[in-house]
Structure 1
Amino acid sequence: MAEDILFNPGDAIAQNYDYNAVMRSAEIFHYQQHPQQFVLVQAPEDACYAVFRIADAAHIKEQLAPLRRYQIVKRL
């Protein structure tokens, strides 16, 4: 069963249709920034991968920006 999470698409650290390119970007960002928790997600509508900080996850009550539902592929 897939785990869904909501994010504002503008908060993405990296976004691409290529899984390996997104993973590479996430690893570089993780190395340059202090270790934080990230998730690699996939948009079910268009199969695009993206990386977000877990701290940027949207809470349903705080819908100030347009949110998009993603499925978690991997926690980093």
Structure 2
Amino acid sequence: MSENVLFNPGQAISSTFDFNEAYVSAQIYRKKSNKPLLVVQEKDGKLYCVFDKSTAQENSMESKQYRVIKHLD
């Protein structure tokens, strides 16, 4: 079962079409900031994004649904 979250796309730390590139970006940012991050994928399965877990949103007009691929705690 997949886990879905809502984020404002403008708050993405990184976005790319390559999972490995997104994961490396998340690892670098995680090492610098020491904040828990999520690597997520758009519902259409194309774009991978990295978000700070604390920026997850409840239903809002600006939010978009993503599928969680990897947790970096």
TM over 0.5: yes
Structure 1 residue ranges without an equivalent (≥5): none
Whichever structure has more strand as a proportion of its residues is 2
Q: Whole-Å Cα distance in 2 between the matches of residues 51 and 41 of structure 1?
A: 6
Quote the sequence identity (%). Answer: 32
1:8-65: CA deviation from partner (whole Å, max 9, x where unpaired): 00000110001111111111111111x11111100022521001011000012xx2x5
Q: Counterpart of 1:47 in 2: which secondary structure?
A: coil
Are 1:36 and 2:32 counterparts?
A: no
Task: Provide the rounded CA distance (Å) in 2 between the counterparts of 1:2 and 1:47.
Answer: 16
Alignment pair present for 1:71 and 2:67:
yes
Structure 2 unaligned segments of length 5 or more: list them. Answer: none
Aligned structure 1 segments of 4 or more residues deviating by more than 3 angstroms:
none
Q: RMSD of the alignment, in Å?
A: 1.1
CA–CA separation in structure 2 for the residues paired with 1:46 and 1:27: 21
TM-score (norm. length: structure 1): 0.87
Determine helix, strand or coil for the equivalent of 2:31. Answer: helix
Partner of 1:54: 53
TM-score with structure 2 setting the length: 0.90
State how far apart, in whole Å, the 1-side matches of 2:65 and 2:11 are: 13
Number of equivalences: 72
